[in-house]
Homo-oligomer: A and B are copies of this chain.
Amino acid sequence: MREVAALAEVSLSTVSRVVNGSPPVAAELARRVEQAVEILGYRHDQIAGSLRRANRASATIGLVFEDVANPFFSLVHRAVEDVAAPRSVLTLAGSSDEDPVRERELTEGLLARRVDGLIVVPTPGDHSYLERDVAAGVALVFVDRPPEGVDADSVVSANFEGARSAVSHLIAQGHRRIGFVGDQPDIYTAAERLRGFRAALAEHGIAEDPDLIGHPSFRATDAEAVTAQLLEGPAPPTAIFSAQNLITVGAMRTVHRLGVQRSIAFVGFDDLPLADVLDPGITVVAQDPYGIGRQAAELMFSRMDGYHGPSRHMTLATPLIQRGSGEIPPP
């Protein structure tokens, strides 16, 4: 910028004004500055600018997902981007892989880069380490799971209700032996969905059979084996509820490999591309990842815009979409 000022024969203040589009600058000077910028190939350093700027905003926000490559989170990501882009706010994103240590490294790296806001899918456990940042004015929103140990906004799916309605739907078709395949219940969403599964059984007076509950450790791959174990056991279920999108892929692979896709009923939590093309189509309880991301971004920006009221907690509905697999009756 110094060089630009020298070449254009104006002061630094003037260069700063034209580069930032602050109004009062004579056309002739502006022209000279723009010319110098062009000649020198000058690129404005917004980072240095924000250091001195009154509000200290970096126009950057951070996202901490479980995995940026999971289609659920990548849609949340896109939704956040869509509300951030018109404000010229850019997005840093990372994957915690459900590891609290990695999550903390990520968020602290983000905070050290002075993000104005943070949207995080919290790993299991306490998040009070973020209290100082909330106090310092960072707009914090939790997504997919509620906060623990810190007061912040949140946006989650109706996990319990969705799972209960999925399983009630299977029961309504006549099923009494229903298998559950889902993540370890230390993950909030998995615990809620298991709770919904149990609630539906209890409401219909069906005793729970621990042999029908499987927790694959490595999702897609393990889900195949766990599902096979369930279906090839001595007293197999007549229906399966899969509690997560990647698990559904693995479970479906097994169902089709065994050729039981027309005899075993199936409902998955969370929708997938091609789920409607399969035969039978996969009945799912759909989440709204784009809606979750949009809401989260709006809550975050409202705080960045000055909202200082109490924290807000939103729950998005998870409607049942019937496509065939969930409407198969027991034999």
Contact = CB atoms under 8 A, between A and B. Distances in A.
Contact of A91 (B43, B93, B132): B93
Contacts of A95: 78, 81
A94 B91 contact: yes
Interface stretch (A27-35, A172-180, A184-192, A270-278): A270-278
Contact of A60 (B48, B92, B278): B92
Contacts of A78: 67-69, 95
Interface of A: 41, 43-48, 50-51, 58-60, 67-71, 74-75, 77-78, 81, 85, 88, 90-95, 105-106, 108-114, 132-133, 135-136, 249, 252-253, 256, 272-279
Closest 7 A/B residue pairs (Cβ): A41-B132, A69-B78, A74-B74, A46-B112, A274-B274, A69-B74, A256-B277
A133 B58 contact: no
Contacts of A111: 43
A92 to B, nearest CB: 5
A41 B135 contact: yes
B68 A71 contact: no
A251 to B, nearest CB: 10
Contact of A77 (B68, B71, B75): B68
A87 to B, nearest CB: 11
Contacts of A278: 274, 277-279
A297 B109 CA distance: 19
A36 B324 CA distance: 62
Contacts of A50: 47
Contacts of A253: 276-277
A81 B60 contact: no
14 contacts: A47-B114, A48-B51, A68-B78, A68-B81, A81-B95, A88-B105, A90-B94, A90-B106, A249-B273, A252-B277, A274-B278, A277-B278, A278-B278, A278-B279
A85 B95 CA distance: 10
A326 to B, nearest CB: 16
Nearest to A276: B253
A138 to B, nearest CB: 9
Contacts of A85: 94
Given A92-B92, A249-B277, A272-B273, 11 more contacts: A41-B135, A46-B114, A68-B93, A70-B74, A78-B95, A85-B94, A88-B109, A90-B92, A90-B94, A90-B113, A278-B278
Interface centre among A78, A88, A108 (most CB of B within 10 A): A78
Interface centre among A59, A75, A256 (most CB of B within 10 A): A256
A117 to B, nearest CB: 14
Nearest to A41: B132
Contacts of A92: 60, 90-93
A294 to B, nearest CB: 13
Contact of A279 (B41, B47, B256, B276): B256
A136 B81 CA distance: 28
A91 B136 CA distance: 24
Contacts of A71: 69, 71, 74, 273
Contacts of A135: 41
